[in-house]
Structure 1
Amino acid sequence: MKTKCLSLAAALFVAGAMFTSCANDPEEAPVQPDETQITTRAYGDKSPIVSVYVEINDNDPRIVTSYKDGNGKAFIDLVHLFAANVNVDSDGHAVIYFNDKMAPMFADFHTYLDPIKAQGTKVLLTILPNWQHKGMANMDVAEADRFADILTYIVDTYQLDGISFDDEYADYYDYVDNSYSYIIKALRAKLDTKFGAGAKLITVFQWGNYGQIDAAAGAMLDYADHGYFGPNVFQSSSYISGMTNDRWMPQAIQLGDSYNAIYLNQIKTRSSQAASGNYGGIMMFNMRRYSERSPLPVFQKIAEGAFGGTVTYDGTDYTRSWTPDPNGYTITKNDVPAYQPTFTGN
């Protein structure tokens, strides 16, 4: 697994601090959405929802349970476990690899994930390429079907609430037209057949080859995250075809950084804008332990801006307690059944 390299330390795009990702890919031109076939797959009655990415290399995901809103309910609605990798087998097929930190966490997933789910927070696994020339942008129809079977198996086996995609670090040699759409469509069909329509979530981080996502695939996404970080960032959903604002996260906040009062007030203002504009959610990356980098100042400004509320920290500062497995764990198509329906490209 490669640690994501998104930081506030990048150059400003506009006054008021829009900061860029330090991922390798240049930003692609926005794609205007086709409004046909669009459905909203939001859940619950909280709007906008609060979403965080937690780096499992460094953190116990239960850190998200330590923060409550003013009513004593979970402040965080969606947590992404960052990240499992797209590797390749000896035949060049995509497989999923849990690295030395991820594998032991999943081996005892009830301990680490059940408390999160018990409070009503959804748990997604992020899928991230791994410099092996394979990712969401170079799978044909048959490969997308195989890949979706593996992902459905992972959701089923580890009782997850869905899959999130981040197409970075693939080091592509080639591309396949519509590959990203194939994967989303295949996975949506299999998840809906296995678990019921809309029971499981699919999300996309807007970075790397999202221009391959057509309107039909974009309409199948539950949420998508804006891909450029900064306290004053706010962008519309026009980046991804088929996406609508009520499923879009227009803010992107790096929790590994510190923010002064000016930046915190920008976060509050933008969070208010997300709520008043009926946007889907507010996304934050790289949540850390309270003692390492407290997210509470950011959480508080989001709560004030979006909900007119407060956030409290209960004092539980989880330390990653599992022993790394030097071999990691790989899941291949040979390990999983064929989930229906078989994807044929439609």
Structure 2
Amino acid sequence: MAMLASFGACAARNVVFLNNPSPQDVKDIAHYRVKSTGKPFFSDLVLFAANINGSTPNTPVLYYNTEMSTILNQNIDAVRQLQNNGIKVQISYLGNHQNAGWSCNMTSRTATRLANAMVADVIKYGLDGISVDDEYSTCSGSASSFYAVLKAIRAHPYFGGKTLSKALWSDSQYFRSPYNAANQLTEGYEMTYAGSVGYLAPYVGYGMAKSSLFLGISPEFSSASQARSIAQSVANGGYQGVMIWAPNAFLDRTAAAQYYTEIVKAQAGATESVEYMP
């Protein structure tokens, strides 16, 4: 239990993914606060998801569905409210069952053009980073192209100080020299949802710091009590925190506060709690 005391009240960082959220879902995130400090339970929100569309790997186009467009173009104040409370807001880019995506075999010029388009929109909307979700493309598997996109994002002069994170799972081919994604990512969220902190260990081996790694928990698969046990193993392992997948799809406000309470008890002590504070 000595390790718990070393964290302090919610010194661990926690990330939330909201799946096709409403503006109110976004606003709610700032209202979940640790009772003893009044500070937000979450440090980061990832808007899930914008898409990479295209009929060929070398003609990628960014696409924003109705939910993403509604937030970014009509309710950006919801994002600003979070940022004003110290919560960073990233946007996830995801394949869309088309012949374009993160790891499609594209030219270096295309990789740079795709990266520049993403960064341009992050700047346009005043967001804090990009989260990589390399799935649902009909083409994939090019480690060199994948690395080229990441490198171009990180090298962009207007991306300095921002987050480049990745959904981690079954992706060892992208963490091998000379195209080791660990050299470009600032954070990673392991999304197997099996509850084992052991899934984070390979990424330390690839070169990512424990302080940049988060273990995913889904309310769909893990109860509140199970979430507490998982968060405890993450804390004991010296990792940064947990990522909660799509609580807006599975938990109402009361159940969410109870769920987060179990996690903060593991991270900061049994007397801690999370409340929804309007």
Q: TM-score, normalised by structure 1?
A: 0.68
Bigger proportion of residues as strand: 2
Alignment of 1:125-140 (within 5 A): 125-138=91-104, 139-140=106-107
Q: Which residue of 2 aligns with 1:211?
A: 173
1:153 matches 2:117: no
CA–CA distance in 2 between the matches of 1:67 and 1:142? 43
Letter of the structure 1 residue corresponding to residue 92 of structure 2: T
Q: Does the CA-based 8 Å contact 2:50-2:64 persist in structure 1?
A: yes
5+ long unaligned stretches in structure 1 = 1-44, 317-346
Q: 1:57 to 1:282 in 2, by over 3 A?
A: closer
2:260 matched residue in structure 1: 299
Give the conservation status (yes or no) of the 8 Å contact 2:10–2:264. Answer: no
2:210 paired residue number: 245
User: Hey, what's the Cα distance between the residues in 1 that align with 2:169 and 2:99?
Assistant: 17
Q: Does 2:26 match 1:66?
A: no
Structure 2 distance, partners of 1:113, 1:212, is: 31
* Higher RCO (C-alpha under 8 Å, 6+ residues apart): 1
Which has the higher mean CA deviation after the structures are superposed, 200-209 or 80-89?
Answer: 200-209
In 2, are the aligned partners of 1:206 and 1:227 still within 8 Å (CA)? yes
Gaps of 5+ in 2: 1-8
RMSD: 2.6
Residue matched to 1:97: 63
Instruction: Give the alignment partner of residue 223 of structure 1, picking from 183, 187, 199.
Output: 187
Alignment length, in residue pairs?
261
Q: Which residue type is aligned with residue 67 of structure 1?
A: Y
Q: Judging changes above 3 Å, is the alpha-carbon distance between structure 1 residues 306 and 166 closer, same or farther for their aligned structure 2 residues?
A: same
* 1:235 paired to 2:195: no
The AA in structure 2 aligned to 1:204 is K
Shift in Å, 1:185: 0.9
Closer/same/farther in 2, CA of residues 127 and 195 from structure 1, 3 Å limit: closer
Segment drifting more, 210-219 vs 136-145: 210-219
| Inter-CA distance 89–149: structure 2 relative to 1 (3 Å threshold) | farther
Q: Tell me the residue number matched to 1:268.
A: 228
Partner amino acid, structure 1, of 2:168: Q
Distance 1:271 1:62 in 2: 25
- Alignment-derived partner of residue 130 in structure 2: 163
Higher helix share: 2
Which residue in 2 is equivalent to 1:200?
A: 162
Distance 1:91 1:53, change over 3 A: closer
- Residues 129 and 135 of structure 1 are in contact (CA less than 8 Å); yes or no, is this contact kept in structure 2? yes
**CA separation of 1:113/1:204 partners in 2, compared to 1, >3 Å: closer, same or farther?**
same
Does the residue aligned with 1:49 lie in a helix, a strand or coil?
coil
Inter-CA distance 235–258: structure 2 relative to 1 (3 Å threshold):
closer
User: Counterparts of 1:3-42 in structure 2 under 5 Å?
Assistant: none
Cα deviation per residue 1:83-118 (whole Å; 9 max; x = unaligned)? 000012689511110012211211124322011111
The alignment partner of 2:66 has SS state of: coil
2:18 to 33, 54, 59: 54
Which residue of the other structure, out of 232, 243, 248, is the alignment partner of 1:283?
A: 243
Q: Structure 1 residue 288: deviation in Å? A: 1.1
State the identity as a percent.
25
